[in-house]
Chains A and B, each alone.
Chain A
């Protein structure tokens, strides 16, 4: 397999990895903000 094509797969793999981590992390962060806001309004 030509080196260039290999790099395509590598970039794909790293893209998937970091995309997943960032999206999951961001969702947790957003949910924390949302819940804190709701808690403040409950008190």
Chain B
């Protein structure tokens, strides 16, 4: 069956504009007093981090909605958010490394935030790997949703234990990424960047969900071509009492 809905173009336009705006803003804002030009990296690093966590939260929310409503559209949304989320999480880690090396001389630090982001990355990967284990839409949705709920319960516990652990091993105060007082221009630019990245996330979600819907349609269409299954002719007994 041909898909009824036309393909949308506005998400790509939104992404292009948001991306461009962020770049212009990040390049125009005056450099930070301490970090100088390197501070510009934060205008992509911080929004990516915000989206990485937000996307994860949405995946968990959509998983719960699926278990409640059993409507596959929630499963598609959960998956789309996980995929976009894993991209943003990978980006956060990469940008963090690119920022850390010139700033502190090391690619990686073992403070709580970095460690937790890395753990989140692996949880995402596990979620996506779990989805590859079956072709049945319902089984896949149930598996993912349960793992999603399982993850959302464990993540705060992991967060707490890691923060506690790092609290005992005092990291040098230099490791605070943001300087205590931030210039208004910097804060505004940061918020602007976060807003743009959020727009990118939403637009990306629209297209990814569209793709998921089409792929599911295709799968169902292909499965229906396989012909009647033996035993399909047998129906459940009529227990409505008429005879």
| Chain B 61-89 residues near chain A, CB threshold 8 A | 84, 87
Q: B227 CB to closest chain A CB, in angstroms? A: 15
The answer to whether B98 touches A3, judged by C-beta atoms less than 8 angstroms apart, is no
Q: A21-B15, A32-B214, A43-B2 are in contact. Are A12 and B221 (CB under 8 A)?
A: no
B19 — which chain A residues lie within 8 A by C-beta?
18, 21
| Chain B 1-60 residues near chain A, CB threshold 8 A | 1-3, 7, 12, 15, 19, 23, 26, 36-38, 40-41, 44-45, 48
| Chain B 142-181 residues near chain A, CB threshold 8 A | none
The answer to whether B218 touches A32, judged by C-beta atoms less than 8 angstroms apart, is no
Chain A interfacial residues counted at CB < 8 A:
28
B41 — which chain A residues lie within 8 A by C-beta?
9-10, 13
The answer to whether A40 touches B2, judged by C-beta atoms less than 8 angstroms apart, is yes
A18 to B23, CA, bound (A): 10
A1 to B15, CA, bound (A): 34
The answer to whether B87 touches A5, judged by C-beta atoms less than 8 angstroms apart, is no
Decide yes or no whether B204 CB sits under 8 A from chain A: yes
Interface of B, secondary structure class, is: helix
Among the stretches B118-126, B130-138, B205-213, B235-243, the one at the interface with A is B205-213
Q: A30 CB to closest chain B CB, in angstroms? A: 10
Residues in B lying within 8 Å of A, measured CB to CB: 1-3, 7, 12, 15, 19, 23, 26, 36-38, 40-41, 44-45, 48, 84, 87, 90-91, 94-95, 98-99, 101-102, 200, 204, 207-208, 210-211, 214-215, 217-218, 221-222, 225
Residues in A lying within 8 Å of B, measured CB to CB: 1, 3, 5-7, 9-10, 12-14, 16-18, 20-21, 24-25, 28-29, 31-32, 35-36, 38-40, 42-43
